[in-house]
Amino acid sequence: MMDHPFTLKISPERGYLELFSNHITRHLSAMRNQFLDKDAYESILKKEDVLVYEVYESKRPEIAGELLHGISIVHPGKVGDEYFMTKGHFHSELETAEVYYCLHGQGMMVMETPEGSWTVEAFNAGDLVYVSPRWAHRSVNTSLIEDLIMLFVYPGNAGHDYRTIERQGFRKMIVDKDSQVAIVDNPHWISPEER
């Protein structure tokens, strides 16, 4: 089958939902054990199962040669000191990269390799973040007021491995420390030697 090229006009005013064919919502209840502060997590959840982030995808065949693309929106907020963030994942096909372009807001991309190397890229609207092959990635909204809105593009055959991060966590966490954004060690991270 040969698909015809197409154009998507991306603007919040038009409503992303009308332009993309799939809408994924991740509420706090779907992020159990991802945030460090369990008491803070339970107490927010008891009041409301808040929407932490959502993704609008343009559905494409999940095969090599295609480019999967869409918009992710991480809402502002914290669980304890930790800013709202995505679950994060490795690509199942480890040797696949991803490009993120920040449309609105500010954030940090937390990344690490299977061997435990880590890096954190801070970005603002207008910045492009290149996630190289092999690096797990999680986007964090470091604003407590504004949405973080990103455009992402990645290979059709990438696939998502969430299990590894669910098990071992990310090495670094992004927290609000005396009203400053800080990168700190995750005390629950399981190092390659312990796996």
Question: Smallest distance from the beta carbon of 132 to ligand PAN, in angstroms?
Answer: 13
Return the number of the residue (80 or 133) whose C-beta is nearest Zn ion: 133
CA 78 to the chain's CA centroid: 15
Work out which of 77, 88, 107, 155 binds ligand PAN, going by CB under 6 A. Answer: 88
**Binding partner of residue 139 among Zn ion, ligand PAN, none, CB cut-off 5 to 8 Å per kind:** ligand PAN
Q: Is 139 in the site for ligand PAN (CB under 6 A)?
A: yes
DSSP strand pairing (160-161 vs 90-91): antiparallel
Q: Compute how many residues bind Zn ion; rule: CB under 5 A.
A: 1
Q: Cα dihedral angle (60, 162, 95, 109), rounded to 10 degrees?
A: 90
Please select the residue that binds ligand PAN; options are 31, 55, 102, 174, rule is CB under 6 A: 55
169: contact with ligand PAN by CB under 6 A: no
Specify the residue for token string 């993704």.
Answer: 55
98 binds ligand PAN (CB under 6 A): yes
Alpha-carbon distance of 30 to 53, in angstroms, equals 11
Calculate Rg over the CA atoms of the chain: 17
Minimum separation from the CB atom of position 63 to ligand PAN (A) = 15
CB 83 within 8 A of CB 142: yes
Q: Does 105 bind ligand PAN (CB under 6 A)?
A: no
Inter-CA distances, 136 with 69, 101, 122, 194, Å? 18, 17, 16, 18
Kindly list the residues in this chain that would bind ligand PAN in the complex (CB under 6 A).
55, 72, 86-89, 98, 137, 139, 152, 154, 158, 160
